[in-house]
Chains A and B, each alone.
Chain A
């Protein structure tokens, strides 16, 4: 029986991208860790209710599971948010808006992909209108799998992200900056002529200095 433990072909692209950043052996200094420790205590979440996973964000944020005790609180606008939560499948039409929201966020920013639809397409695997793997279009920092993950699982995912931030490791937004050509090519492949306007990533044209 054919059993595949390694990636093959285009599936390896993502791993090759991440290897170039050397995330495992990242040298983090004292200042990096102090800043990370301050940052991990406060995460403003832009909950982008793309799919059915949005239903699990409500109990997480309200009295029952009370994410505010971990410093996780909803942000009203992308400008003020740190974490973009993609909750479920992404239609092509939604993907355009999500990319634009992500590029409007101020760095450092993180992406949490929620549910199996954002990981491999899930039950929308052969849909003509949804993307299968979110990581080809936006740099995902943390996956929470399940269909749908319960609020407990979400809290665990957020805690794992906080630990990652606390160690001061380089995260997805750096990957996005360094491999912007690859991400934009992928986005262009599915969106075609309908690409979002480019003034939300104008640092790309300014040579990465803006």
Chain B
């Protein structure tokens, strides 16, 4: 199964606004994506509660996994998102 491993760049980790941006992007993908920390259980990336419960801090490496059509494109898009400091970016619609 295709995977990507990436360190979370957001200063506050995957909480609050960075988590919301990530979960929304995951829900927008055509293929379901899962996320895990190390060898921990993989949870749906489109689930806010599951993503929050991972308790991912700044710099933590997470692994994204997906299977099926468009999996690689979805993983690339989400990995690129996590590699940005989402805390430093202004909300687009504010």
Partners in one complex: no
